[in-house]
Amino acid sequence: MQVANTGPTTGIDPEALARARNLGITARAKQRFYTKKFDLSGLPTYQPKHRVRSPIRQWGDNYYALSGLMDVWEKQFRTYHPQATFEDNLSSSAVAFPGLIAGVADLAPMGRAALWTELKGAERQNADQSGSGSVPLEIVACTGSYNVSGWTFALGVFVHKSNPLTHLTLDQLDGIYGAERSGGWKGLEWDQRVARGAEGNIRTWGQAGLTGEWADKKINVYGYNLHFHFPDEFDKKVLKGSYKWNERLVMYANQFGLKADGSMTVAGELMIEALANDPYGIAYTGIRYQNADTKSVPLAAGPESAPVALTLDTVQNRSYPLTRDIYYYVNVKGGRINPAAGEFLRYVLSREAQEAIQEHDGKYLPLTADVAAEQLAKVERHIGLH
């Protein structure tokens, strides 16, 4: 694997870097990117089942708070539960599991899926005398954005505009980005059924289905530095949880140099710039970084599935395979979750809360009715309503 040259790495004031990052986030936080109204009539209206009087402590994702969405949710929730209060520490997804593990948080909102180490830490903390422990319940609260940096945008796959490729399956994408493996992680379970050999590797464009002059050309693979959370998501959805990457992967990080407006050049921009000058390259990042010399590749979930292009609608309806989610995690003890926290999750999964995403955030996207129903059933099973 290679690390791309992303600019100077020394002599930069860390506080200046933090200011550069926050500059872009603050500008986007109050901006409404999507004005389209999605049909939410299939979602259930909120019907209180448990009266909430105790405080609800939340540690986690700052993006819920930055746009004001959490304020709207909490205010609306208190119209049903006047005695409800909230104690929020919404500074980063990085503090979510520490809050759960330390017992100082009832709910952990996160802008990404939990990492293996986070799940393992919670399992160990919740272990009983036999050594058996439970992991927090995972609830999908809403869908990530289509193209807003920071708001968990969908992952697109891009090639040079001259590339005749029309689509890829996730298995082909695994062959391009992945490598031979003995298994993969499904949560905390090692699954040997997803093992595959080197014959599944795709290293030339001919192996990906191209012919003629493209057939023998090596595929140049661009992606994020593995310390980002994007690779974790890509690994879970494409590489079967193996974390076995193409040996020629060129990795990018945010550039340690500031633009004229004081903001940073991010990794997605850098890899797309490289791809624009490389007919044989491929990259995964957000569609916001696509330029005129690159094109987005439609993806098919399986060999019998139709390829789906990356659009606002296919992200919201979740037909695009690399759509991403926004989560809540909550501790489970004795098969049950905190009833006050569970009641707030019931509200979050309601038509009212999902409508607030459209009206007051305009970056995250509301859930579809079937996903909301599935998540609501998980919550209600754990607070004894089913």
**Residue 81, C-beta contacts closer than 8 angstroms, at least 6 positions apart:** 48, 51, 52, 53, 343
Whether pLDDT at 132 is above 70 = no
Of 58-67, 126-135, 146-155, minimum mean pLDDT range: 126-135
Kindly report the length of the chain: 386
pLDDT for 109: 98
Cα angle, residue 68 at apex, residues 114 and 104 outer, rounded to 5°: 45
Pick 290 or 16 by higher pLDDT.
290
Picking from 60, 52, 56, 2, the residue whose alpha carbon sits closest to that of residue 222 is 2
The H or E element containing residue 55 is strand 55-59
List where CATH 3.40.190.10 sits in the chain. Answer: 32-149+324-382, 154-316
Whether pLDDT at 256 is above 80 = no
Whether pLDDT at 8 is above 50 = no
Whether pLDDT at 322 is above 50 = yes
Map tokens 């550039």 to a residue.
Answer: 255
Rounded mean pLDDT of the chain?
Answer: 92
CA pair distance 81, 334, nearest whole angstrom:
26
- Helix/strand/coil for 314: helix
CA pair distance 228, 155, nearest whole angstrom:
13
The pLDDT tens digits of the residues spanning 222-237 come to 999 999 999 999 999 9
C-alpha of 283 from chain center: 17
DSSP string, 56-123: EEEE--SHHHHTTHHHHHHHHHHHH-TT-EEEEE-S-GGGHHHHHHHT--SBEEESSPPPHHHHHHHH
The pLDDT tens digits of the residues spanning 183-199 come to 999 999 999 999 999 99
Could you tell me the pLDDT band of residue 331, with boundaries at 50, 70 and 90? very high
Whether pLDDT at 16 is above 70 = no
CA pair distance 85, 82, nearest whole angstrom:
8
Could you tell me the pLDDT band of residue 26, with boundaries at 50, 70 and 90? confident
Mean pLDDT of 330-359: 96
At 279, list the tokens. 């007919």
pLDDT for 15: 63
Report which listed range, 131-145, 258-272, 322-336, is most confident.
322-336
CA-based torsion, 207, 212, 216, 221: positive or negative = negative
345 — phi, psi (to 5°)? Answer: -65, -35
Could you tell me the pLDDT band of residue 258, with boundaries at 50, 70 and 90? low
Of 213-222, 247-256, 337-346, minimum mean pLDDT range: 247-256
pLDDT for 7: 47
- In the chain, the percentage of residues whose pLDDT exceeds 70 is 91
- Fold type of domain 154-316: D-Maltodextrin-Binding Protein; domain 2 (3.40.190)
Q: Which CATH code, of 3.40.190.10, 3.90.1150.10, 3.40.30.10, 3.40.250.10, is assigned to 32-149+324-382?
A: 3.40.190.10
pTM score of the predicted model: 0.92
